[in-house]
Amino acid sequence: MPNFSRTIAGCMTWGVWGKNLNTNEMIDIMQTCIENGITTFDHADIYGDYTTEAAFGKAFNASQVKREDVQLISKCGIQYIGNSRNNRVKHYNYSKDYIIWSVEESLKNLQTDYLDLLLLHRPSPLMHPDEVSEAVSTLTSQGKIKDFGLSNFTPIQTDLIASKTAISVNQIEVSLTQYTSLFDGSLTHMQLHKIQPMAWSPLGSYFKEDSEKNSRIKKELTNLSKKYNATESQLLLAWLHQHPSQIIPVIGTTNKNRIIEAVKAQEFVLEIEDWFALLVASQGHKVP
């Protein structure tokens, strides 16, 4: 398995779905990430209505960053309704030919010869493990992907694909405010099968919603921020880092200070009662 950085830069909002960064701005953020130990960049073909990978690729090519110094992740499978493709309905396609074609498109757009990791973006009721296996085998033998994994797959869905193809990663939604994977067997399954968890939306809803849950969390974070001399976001990320499955957060910020702040979160180790105090605050009741 490739050595991914302990914090990953999520690139979904780098393009037109977010900050719409120009080439120089992308290079600047890319270099800030690398200088601070974030060497893994997470993409998906659909980001920016299939435009963000090409914008990143242009910046990456101009940046003079060595390809071997970074890891590039992409995802495929979602057929999105937008301006780029003539789709009648949003759907998923995991046929052998489509997976191979999609990866080749991502390579062209990212201006690279290989992906360090390919993920199937979301499970499909029509996915067939043999089709997936044949595509992954072809892409691996051609040197176009180094490793393979999943995104948003349940344990049983993972087992279906793993019956034919080795799975290295599952990228799921997990945070202090979205903690179901801690209890529904998802993270336990990954530990058991040595699958690396990656967390999208690792800060959860904390900075997005006013709710009773977030008010309870804020009370705990206020006290712990003083105790650990850490920001709220650092404590939220540290809470994830501490899980024994070794969750890697995928952060979406393009703010330089927040990028640096996120990396420093790797240094904090919460006392066990503080870790559980945050969980209890999110749940709204004591653990069973």
Cα 140 to Cα 80, 100, 137, 258: the distances in Å are 26, 10, 5, 36
Domain span including residue 151: 8-173
Q: What is the pLDDT of residue 286?
A: 94
CB distance 135 to 96 below 8 Å: yes
What CATH number does the domain containing 75 carry? Answer: 3.20.20.100
Q: How many domains does the chain have?
A: 1
206 included as an active-site residue: no
**194 assigned to some structural domain:** no
Query: pTM for the full model?
Result: 0.97
**61 assigned to some structural domain:** yes
What radius of gyration, in Å, describes the C-alpha atoms of the chain? 19
Q: Nearest 10 degrees: CA dihedral of 111, 79, 195, 166? A: -80
Name the strand (E) or helix (H) holding 72: strand 71-76
Q: What is the pLDDT of residue 2?
A: 62
Choosing from 47, 50, 94, 206, which is the catalytic residue?
47
The burial class, CB within 10 Å (0-12 / 13-18 / 19+), for 147 is buried
**280 assigned to some structural domain:** no
H-state helical runs in 72-204: 96-110, 129-141, 155-162, 186-192
Sign of CA dihedral 285, 230, 239, 273: negative
**180 assigned to some structural domain:** no
**190 assigned to some structural domain:** no
**40 assigned to some structural domain:** yes
Main-chain phi, psi angles of 170, to 5 degrees? -135, 120
Structure-token match 């296996």, residue found: 133
Helix/strand/coil for 89: coil
**260 assigned to some structural domain:** no
For residue 40, the cross-strand partners are 71
Name the strand (E) or helix (H) holding 10: strand 8-10
- Chunked mean pLDDT (size 10), the chain, 288 residues: 89 97 98 98 97 98 97 97 92 98 98 98 98 98 98 98 98 98 98 98 97 98 98 98 98 97 98 98 95
**105 assigned to some structural domain:** yes
The amino acid at residue 20 is N
